[in-house]
Amino acid sequence: MRVFNFQKWNQIVGWSVFVVALTTYWLTVEPTVSFWDAGEYITTASNLEVGHPPGAPLYQILGAFFSIFAFEAEQVALTINLMSVFASAFTILFLFWSLSLLLRQINEQEEEISTALGWKIIGSSAVGALAFTFTDSFWFSAVEAEVYAAAACIMSILFYCGLRWQADMYTPRGNRWLILIAFVVGLSFGIHFMGLLTIPAIGFLYFFRTTPRVTPKNFILANVVVVAVLLFIFKLLLPWTLKFFSAMELFFVNTLRLPFNSGTIFAALLFIGLFYWGLKTTKAKGQVWGNTLLLCVLFIFIGFSSWLMLPIRANAGTVINENNPNNARELLAYYNR
């Protein structure tokens, strides 16, 4: 039986699907500002200003990058619309790779993929990805300056990374995918919170991979656990961190009479020291899972660091400065809307 070079053709067809999606969206992109929030996003992105809470700082940073390719002011809206075009095309690419990976896992009993089976997997993945390319709601978001295209891209990347983690879970370096997932989760806070909805799906990938026999009892328990992880990240980890920074700022400024932002700087240095100590200790004691979980939390914070743009630009006194999140206390209120 002839051996099929699956990886080669999976890459070729995947990028071909990407080109089809990119071409489709580029030809139909909005030439200027569309309705609703698009005008605000274009303005705040092109000038790095502060939009409505809970904000989209990473989206604005990326939008500012795309806007530099405008040759004149009239093209700024178009260039930021093109960011959604690229984000949506990458969504289709990662959707294709996720589908091919899922179908490959269904046929994992086959050590070597035959030509017929390989083309069935790749062809089915292409059909699924291209079908989603032309769906009405997704196409609508793909051609205008809205956060939903970028958020969909984040979700597709997260799910693909989850599938890769599931496949490599029992390999020596398999947990690197989990750390990458944590980083992308942190990035999602800078675009739209809907990206967090991928967390339960990734949790179930872990559950079905590690559970030999699924029962109603452990399935219900898995539902509770994945929702708890989602709520921990969304409602506890980051809000409590912002509350701690806010409390330190109030204490240092109001009680100790130190300059503004001194409490924030102290809290940041304390966090850096705690992470350094924790990572060093868990590594020395050989606590692999403890070290991995600490790295995951650290990389969530690194991804979340795009939020630093908000107080930086709020203190710069931008023309659009909604809610004025110029310190840790106001940033917490901004997060909670």
Does 56 reside within a domain?
A: yes
Dist. CA 300–CA 151, nearest whole Å: 16
Answer for the pair 322, 52: CB distance below 8 angstroms, yes or no: yes
> What burial class does residue 168 get, using C-beta atoms within 10 Å of its C-beta: 0-12 exposed, 13-18 middle, 19+ buried?
middle
pLDDT in tens, 18-63: 999 999 999 999 999 988 889 999 999 999 999 999 989 999 999 9
Predicted TM-score (pTM) of this structure: 0.94
pLDDT in tens, 245-300: 999 999 999 999 999 889 999 999 999 999 999 999 999 999 999 999 999 999 99
Dist. CA 299–CA 53, nearest whole Å: 23
Does 216 reside within a domain?
A: yes
Does 195 reside within a domain?
A: yes
Residue 16 has which token pair? Answer: 């071909």
Predicted pLDDT at 2: 61
pLDDT in tens, 276-285: 999 999 999 9
Does 1 reside within a domain?
A: no
Dist. CA 83–CA 69, nearest whole Å: 11
What one-character DSSP code corresponds to residue 172? T
Name the residue range of residue 191's domain: 6-335
Answer for the pair 87, 147: CB distance below 8 angstroms, yes or no: no
Predicted pLDDT at 289: 93
Is it the case that residue 306 has pLDDT exceeding 80?
Answer: yes
Number of domains in the chain: 1
